[in-house]
Amino acid sequence: DAMVIQNPRYQVTQFGKPVTLSCSQTLNHNVMYWYQQKSSQAPKLLFHYYDKDFNNEADTPDNFQSRRPNTSFCFLDIRSPGLGDAAMYLCATSIRGGMETQYFGPGTRLLVL
C-alpha cells in the first residue's frame, strides 16, 4: 500500500549527539512536511518542501536542518539535541499543498538523555 514511512519509530540519543530521522513516501506527493509535536500540543511545523524548494519556518531553531534528496525521501537532522527537543516528530505529505489532505507517517518518538 502507498504510504508514508518513518524510521526509526523510537530514537534515543544523548544530549548534544547528532541524530537523523528519516521519512519516505510512496505517494509521489510534491509537498513534504516535518512537524514537532509535544504532549497535549498541536503539531508545530518545522519545515516543508514543495518539490525541492525548501521552506523554513521563522521560529525553527538553527539546530534543526532538513534534506530532501529526491521526491521520495526527506530527512530531519538535529545537530545538537537538547532535552527540550524530546518530542514526537511527524512527517507528512500532500499532493500540492495546504488546501489538501495531509498524510502522516507514524512518527518518530525522540528521547534525549
Partner 1 sequence: RKEVEQDPGPFNVPEGATVAFNCTYSNSASQSFFWYRQDCRKEPKLLMSVYSSGNEDGRFTAQLNRASQYISLLIRDSKLSDSATYLCVVGASGGSYIPTFGRGTSLIVHP
Q: Which residues of this chain interact with partner 1, rule CB under 8 A?
A: 31, 40-43, 45, 48, 50, 55, 88, 90, 94, 96-107, 109
Phi and psi angles of residue 74, each rounded to the nearest 5 degrees, phi first: -145, 140
* Nearest CB to partner 1, comparing residues 48 and 68: 48
CB of 18 to partner 1, least distance (A): 25
Please spell the DSSP secondary structure of 19-57, one letter per residue: EEEEEEESS--SEEEEEEE-TTS--EEEEEEETTEEEE-
Query: Residue type at 71?
Result: T
CB of 102 to partner 1, least distance (A): 7
* Nearest CB to partner 1, comparing residues 16 and 97: 97
CB of 30 to partner 1, least distance (A): 9
| Cβ-contact 23, 4 below 8 angstroms | yes
Neighbours of 76 (CB within 10 A): 23
* Nearest CB to partner 1, comparing residues 18 and 98: 98
User: Can you tell me the distance from the alpha carbon of 53 to that of 30, in angstroms, rounded to the nearest whole number?
Assistant: 10
* Nearest CB to partner 1, comparing residues 79 and 109: 109
